[in-house]
Amino acid sequence: MELPSACSHPCWFLLALLLALLLWAGRRRAWDPRKCPTDLTGKTVIVTGANSGIGKRVALDLARRNARTILACRSRERGQAAVEEIRAATGNPAVLLRPLDTGSLASVRAFARAVLREEERLDVLVNNAGLTGLPFAVTPEGLELTFTTNYLGPFLLTNLLLDLLKASAPARVVNVSSFRHSAGTADGRYLTGQLRPGGCAAAYNSTKLMNVLFSAELARRLQGTGVTANALSPGVVSTGIMRHFGCAARALFALVRPFIKSAEQGAASTIYCAVSEEVAGITGKYFESDCGLALPSAAARDAGLARQLWEESERLTGLTHCPPR
């Protein structure tokens, strides 16, 4: 959920409360993962950013379905704690941690090498990891941190694992975006920090637009392979994604927290795209937080923009020159 920069003004609290009430009142009954019988015995899944929030809830659900569940987390300590909690809750011993920081392309490549070396199959890849609220920063690799973490890292990871996904088909790539993608701009100069989008909220919105464009172009390129790619919005969810904001913004978020979705409720649309039989064979689409198909923004439907962003992303990741070894 994006917050105005002037969130300390009392008026914003009233507006936020009104927004929360409208969201709560307009919420439609979402698909219930507990009523979906899909069993994933013999399947392998990866969930990025799975040590907390939506990612952890998604990993928990997939582990309950007997999948070999790989939690791809930046923090070893929090990731291992999540692994142990999910194992205890599900009785599934095939839940494991592999370190991954999507804000580092070196980390992405190391993770992909480990997966290709150690895993025989990959049936579902959930690109969930993301952040917001960080100040503008360029990484040692010359890439902007928020854009790399939320978009460019997942772009590279998915491409490095495509052959394994194809060999495991039917398989699914699920990209967690946001309804805020409609306020984003997909300018490739953002990826290197050559151009700044104008604040952390604008940066987040733009990364989420890039997630949708990536899903559409990926789906086009994967036609006939048995691998599908879709994007989704989890809605406005109470998670730890606000931890990098200031005290005023976090206080505002706390005010509306009782009226928005829990992490468990927010995970429903991701789980739906990952396991529901209703989604089998559907690709290149965008799903709302209630799990219904929706039309994304006009920019998100621009096929030329999607191809342009893909080509720029290939160049920046060195994708055609640096395959995992």
Give the residue numbers annotated as catalytic, written as ranges: 204
Cβ partners under 8 Å of residue 43, min gap 6 = 67, 68, 121, 123, 124
**Cα angle 130-135-137, degrees, rounded to a multiple of 5:** 85
269 closest CA partner among 307, 237, 238, 223: 237
Which parts of the chain fold into alpha helices (H)? 10-26, 53-64, 76-90, 105-118, 145-147, 153-160, 162-167, 200-221, 247-256, 263-266, 268-275, 303-317
* Interior/surface letters 271-309, b for 16+ CB within 10 angstroms, e for the rest: bbbbbbeebeebbbbbbbbbbeeeebeebbebeebbeeb
Handedness of CA 52, 137, 146, 119 (dihedral sign): negative
Q: How far apart are CA 123 and CA 168, in angstroms?
A: 6
